[in-house]
Amino acid sequence: MATHTTRMLILGSGPAGLSAAIYGARAGMKPIVVQGIQPGGQLTTTTDVENYPGFREVIQGPWLMQEMQAQAEHVGTTMVWDTIVGIDLSRRPFRLTGDSGDIYEGETLVIATGAQAKWLGIPSEDAMKGKGVSACATCDGFFYRGKKVAVIGGGNTAVEEALYLTNHSQDVTLIHRRDTLRAERILQERLHAHPNITVLWNKEVREFVDGGGNAGLVALDLVDTCTGEQRRLDVEGGFVAIGHSPATELFRGHLELDADGYMKVEPGTAKTSVPGVFACGDVADKVYRQAITAAGTGCMAALDAERFLAHAQFESDVAAMNEPPREKENAEATW
C-alpha cells in the first residue's frame, strides 16, 4: 500500500482526462491520472475516427488515445493503473482509495470518468460493434452515406440521431418497441414531417445479422411486441440510441448530480458543487458527447484547477500577512 500526492488528481483517461493532464502538467501541477476500468475511454472501442481536428486521413481511436497519453506523459503526467473505490471530499487535500489499496491525495480533483452508451444486450450486438452497429450517429453516420440505416430507440436521442442521419442517408428507419415516442413534441413533429424517415412501431431488435466475410451488418431481425410476428429489415447501419449512463455512482452523496445522474457544473466552467473539484467530458455533458468537446472541457477543468490553487495560495498569503506578530521569546536561559 502506498500514498500518492499531487496538486491535481485526475480520474479517467479519455480525451477529457488526458487533456486536463496535458494542461495541468504544463502548469507545473505534476498531475496523476488514475486510468480506471477503461483506460483511454470510449475511443479505445472506436475504429475509424474522421472528425478529430488535425488529421486529414482517417485515424484509429486507440491510436489517438495512445498519442494523447504519450503527450501527457511527455510533459510530466504520471499514469496509474487503478480504479477508485472510495472517496473523501470533506476536506483538502481530497483523499481517494484505490482498488489496489493505494491512497491518492490531491489538492484539486478532476473527474473525467465519462459515460457509457446503453446497449440492447442481445448476443449479436457485441460481435457487430464497429461492423455496422454503433451508438453514435454523429460519430459514425458519415460512413453510411447513401446507405439504408436504422435507429433503435424512442427518446430525444433516438429522434435527434434519426434526423441527423438524413444528412447522409435517404432511407432512415426509426424502430421503437412502443406505439408512442418519449421524445419532445417538437422533435416528434420534425421526425414525422421528414420524407426520408419511416417509423416502425412496437418492434424489438432480436438480432443484428452479419453478412459474413467483410460484409458487416446486412439486416435486423425484428419481432412485434404485440403480436410476436417476426420480420427482417435490410439495413447496412444500425444505431442504438437508448441513452447513456454517466459514471457518477461513486460520487452520489458527495457531489451534486442532475436528475439523469450527470455531474452538475457551474455554467461556463468545470466547477462542481465542492470547491476544488472539477468535472469534464461526458460525465458532465449529456448534449454533445464528442471527443473534441470532451478535450475542450478537460482544458477548462485544468485551467479552473490552476486558478483555484492560485487563489487559495493568495488567500493563505494574505492571512499570514495579517496575523498579529508573535511576542519575542525570552532569550534568557532558565536554570
pLDDT in tens, 189-205: 999 999 999 999 999 99
Give the list of residues 6+ apart from residue 182 with CB closer than 8 angstroms, or none.
154, 155, 156
Handedness of CA 211, 140, 155, 189 (dihedral sign): negative
- At residue 335, the pLDDT reads 29
Report the DSSP beta bridge partners of residue 277. 109
pLDDT over threshold 60, residue 332: no
Answer yes or no: are the C-beta atoms of 31 and 6 closer than 8 Å.
Answer: yes
Task: Determine the average pLDDT of the residues in 39-65.
Answer: 86
217: left (phi over 0), alpha (psi -120 to 50) or beta: beta
Please name the residue ranges forming H helices in the chain: 15-26, 61-74, 123-128, 137-140, 156-165, 185-193, 291-321
Whether 330 shows a pLDDT value over 60: the answer reads no
Q: Considering the chain, what is the average pLDDT of its residues?
A: 92
Mean pLDDT over 220-246 rounds to 96
Contact 11, 109 (CB under 8 A): yes
Which of 193, 196, 136, 190 minimizes the C-alpha distance to 167?
196
Does the predicted model carry a pTM greater than 0.95? no
pLDDT of residue 139: 84
Say which residue, 39 or 250, is predicted with more confidence: 250
| Cα Rg of the chain, angstroms | 25
For the chain, domains (ranges, CATH) are 3-116+244-320 (3.50.50.60), 120-241 (3.50.50.60)
Mapped onto helix, strand or coil, the DSSP state of residue 1 is: coil
Which residues are the active-site residues? 136, 139-140
What does the pLDDT look like over 70-117, one tens digit per residue? 999 999 999 999 999 999 999 999 999 999 999 999 999 999 999 988
Beta pairing partners, 224: 203
Please give the Cα distance from 154 to 317 (Å, whole number): 56
Q: What is the mean pLDDT of residues 239-252?
A: 93
Q: Which residues contact 1 (CB under 8 A, 6 or more apart)?
A: 100, 101, 102, 103
60-64, 173-177, 297-301, 311-315: range with lowest mean pLDDT: 311-315
| Alpha carbon distance 298, 20 (integer Å) | 4
Q: What is the pLDDT of residue 324?
A: 73
Residues of the chain with pLDDT > 90: what percent?
A: 80
Mean pLDDT to the nearest integer, 185-190: 95
**65 pLDDT above the threshold of 60:** yes
Given a cut of 60, whether residue 23 has pLDDT beyond it is yes
Q: Is residue 163 helix, strand or coil?
A: helix
Question: Shortest CA distance to 243 belongs to which of 217, 262, 223, 266?
Answer: 262
Percent of the chain predicted with pLDDT > 70: 95
Question: Residue 79, Cα to own-chain centre: how many angstroms?
Answer: 19
Confidence tier at 35 by pLDDT (50, 70, 90): very high
C-alpha cell at 194: 421528414
Quick one: pLDDT at residue 329? 52
The confidence score (pLDDT) of residue 334 equals: 39
Rounded CA-CA distance 76/21 in Å is 9
| pLDDT at residue 245 greater than cutoff 60 | yes
Higher model confidence: residue 48 or residue 150?
150
Q: List all residues 6 or more positions away from 81 whose beta carbon is below 8 Å from its beta carbon.
A: 35, 39
Report the distance separating Cα 196 and Cα 326, nearest Å: 80
Per-residue pLDDT tens digits for 1-10: 899 999 999 9
pLDDT in tens, 255-300: 999 999 999 999 999 999 999 999 999 999 988 889 999 999 999 9
C-beta of residue 301 within 8 angstroms of C-beta of residue 16: yes
CA separation for the pair 205, 74 (Å, rounded): 46
